[in-house]
Structure 1
Amino acid sequence: MHSTAAASLSGLWDEVSGTQPDPDTWVVLVTAAAALAVILPHGAWRLSRNAITIAHEGGHGLVALLTGRTLTGIRLHSDTSGLTVSRGRPTGPGMILTAAAGYTAPPLLGLGGAALLATGRITLLLWLATALLLAMLVMIRNAYGALTVVLAGGTFVGVSWLAGPQVQAAFAYAVVWFLLLGGVRPAFELQAKRRRGGAGDSDADQLARLTHVPPGLWLFLFHAVSLCSLMGGGRWLLRL
């Protein structure tokens, strides 16, 4: 019995961590176009931005835990805003890294996903994304947030278990393109809001109060991370 279970676990791990064939170039290009189609139009972006918010708030939460803070809850709202609450020192490196993790999380997750796809690990990417969503669900503290994360996680589970290799590959590439391309837009939106005198309590402004570094420099960091991630991740996905 034990040897059979061990063999099953070993086989499952080999399947998850193994490599899968790269999709055709046209699939990579079509998935990039599909990602742009839900990012550029304002109406589509109002809906698809919820996924970026999941990654944004998840980044705050993950870094809070990694820096030793106590994560108390995450809320996702229907206007695509979110709130992550953690306890710990109100200043210092842990708080700074936590605050800086939001806008940088989606593009960096996209970059990590592109690295996995560049090595053919499509199944591993899908399973890791599912695991992160399940872990995040435990910390969600409002109904809309729970529904959003459940729908996202359910989509990943459905594709992982029910779809064939070609559909899995197309879905994985679409998700990574979406994180890379969609991770660029929020920093520009924040810049525009601040230019109009809004977003006074944004991540950049909180970081300015924590570090005495001007908000504009933190905005520059957000732009640099998102654009560099897009360039690097895009090269991996296109196999340049």
Structure 2
Amino acid sequence: MDTSTATSLWDELVGTQSEPDLWVVIATGVAALAVVVPPAVWRVARNAITIAHEGGHGLVALLTGRQLTGIRLHSDTSGLTVSRGKPYGLGMILTAVAGYTAPPLLGLGGAALLAAGRITLLLWLATALLLAMLVMIRNAYGALTVVLTGAVFVLVSWLTGPQVQAAFAYAVVWFLLLGGVRPAFELQAKRRHGGAGDSDADQLARLTRTPAGLWLFLFHAVSLCSLLGGGRWLLGV
């Protein structure tokens, strides 16, 4: 790669791109909603939310000084992130909190980038995060899921034009915002029927000696506020 090519790529990465028409923003939001709401479609699409969920656990574990030993993604859309360190304390609490809050917060951050016209930067950052996560995946299904997801981002980034890239980026962010809301409600329903006894909320309850319902409320608050704020940025209102 010569200097001029590298400079061109850098300029594209840090530069701004034109926002799509409002109808495209609305259409991608509707498309994301059509993926999140129907149970049959959601069962497949939820794998992407699990990637963000477990990635959130892993990233915060590293940031708080824990040793990340591996991440597993399963075909039933569950996942497991294992880290070493004290089984108590602030680092462990923040790591546990990061799972359900990661998808909506990633969506909120993505909405901020799109509102600033940083479409290319968003696509490349997402690809870099997926590549970094792939290094820590410890099972075949998880590796396949992350590779396929990353491949979609690479193909869109390199083989499509600005309009398609913009529509894809908006669809991804809408999906994170909308899809980040549903898991907390699913967890609440499972706990109501006596399931999910070792959920993130229950682990946090044991770590902090506070009710699990309090942590569920936090998950709901983060996801709904992210959807409200991110939606306003995307729609430009």
Among 152, 168, 172, the alignment partner of 2:169 is 172
Task: Give me the whole-angstrom Cα distance separating, in 2, the residues matched to 1:11 and 1:17.
Answer: 10
Moved runs in structure 1, 4+ residues, more than 2 A? 4-11
Task: Give me the whole-angstrom Cα distance separating, in 2, the residues matched to 1:164 and 1:228.
Answer: 32
Shift of 1:13: 1.2
1:221 matches 2:218: yes
Q: TM-score, normalised by structure 2?
A: 0.99
Deviations 1:96-135 (A, max 9, x none): 0000000000000000000000000000000000000000
1:234 matches 2:231: yes
Could you tell me which runs of 5 or more consecutive residues in structure 2 were left unpaired when the two chains were aligned: none
Among 207, 210, 232, the alignment partner of 1:210 is 207
Task: Give me the whole-angstrom Cα distance separating, in 2, the residues matched to 1:178 and 1:8.
Answer: 33
Shift of 1:11: 2.4
Q: TM-score, normalised by structure 1?
A: 0.97
1:4-83 paired onto structure 2 within 5 Å: 5-83=2-80
Could you tell me which runs of 5 or more consecutive residues in structure 1 were left unpaired when the two chains were aligned: none
Shift of 1:10: 2.8
Deviations 1:205-234 (A, max 9, x none): 000000011100000000000000000000
Aligned to 1:132: 129
**Number of aligned pairs?**
237
Aligned to 2:146: 149
What RMSD in Å do the two structures reach over aligned CA positions? Answer: 0.9
Aligned to 1:162: 159
Task: Give me the whole-angstrom Cα distance separating, in 2, the residues matched to 1:50 and 1:213.
Answer: 30
For 1:139, what is the secondary structure of its paired residue? Answer: coil
Among 112, 116, 123, the alignment partner of 1:115 is 112
Shift of 1:5: 4.1
Q: What is the letter of the counterpart of residue 239 of structure 1?
A: G
Deviations 1:2-59 (A, max 9, x none): xx84443332211111100010000001000100111100000000000000000000
Q: What is the letter of the counterpart of residue 185 of structure 2?
A: F
Task: Give me the whole-angstrom Cα distance separating, in 1, the residues matched to 2:163 and 2:62.
Answer: 36
